[in-house]
Amino acid sequence: MRILSTDFVLFYVSDMQKAIEFYRGFLGLSLEFYKEKWQWAEFNAGNVTLTLSGGRPANAGGGVIALAVTDLEAAAQEVAAKGIKVKRPLHELSTCWHLEILDPDGNTVILHKRKDGTYGN
């Protein structure tokens, strides 16, 4: 077996509308597919699809996704202005900076910027 790529990341959510508002409204991800009857939503998150599945209890903050952003300081200001829950404030690591925030179900969303300016692979 040879793995080619990550096609999608899946988060279980307890309130689909709140989750859609967070990912589309706050993060600005494009909602590519939504089927209310199935409680299923798919967002374009660059080189991966972020999928939400509702209609069942969430996994109590079990999911993590890192999203590359162009301006992390501006993102941190927007997080503060909108009252988004911060898990770990903006901090520097050896190769990058990142800010950890929480979605409405407690899943971690890392807003991330590499020092060399690359993203993706």
Q: 10-37 in b/e burial notation, b at 16+ Cβ within 10 A?
A: ebbbbebeebbebbeeebebeeeeeeee
Least confident stretch, 45-59, 80-94, 102-116? 45-59
List, for residues 1-52, the tens digit of each pLDDT value: 776 778 889 999 999 999 999 999 999 999 999 999 999 999 999 889 999 9
Q: What is the pLDDT of residue 1?
A: 79
pLDDT in tens, 49-86: 999 999 776 666 678 999 999 999 999 999 999 999 99
Q: Which residue has the tokens 């589309």?
A: 24
What CATH fold (topology level) applies to the domain 8-114? Answer: 2,3-Dihydroxybiphenyl 1,2-Dioxygenase; domain 1 (3.10.180)
pLDDT of residue 61: 65
The residues spanned by each domain of the chain are: 8-114
Q: Is the pTM of this model over 0.75?
A: yes
Q: What is the mean pLDDT of residues 82-110?
A: 94
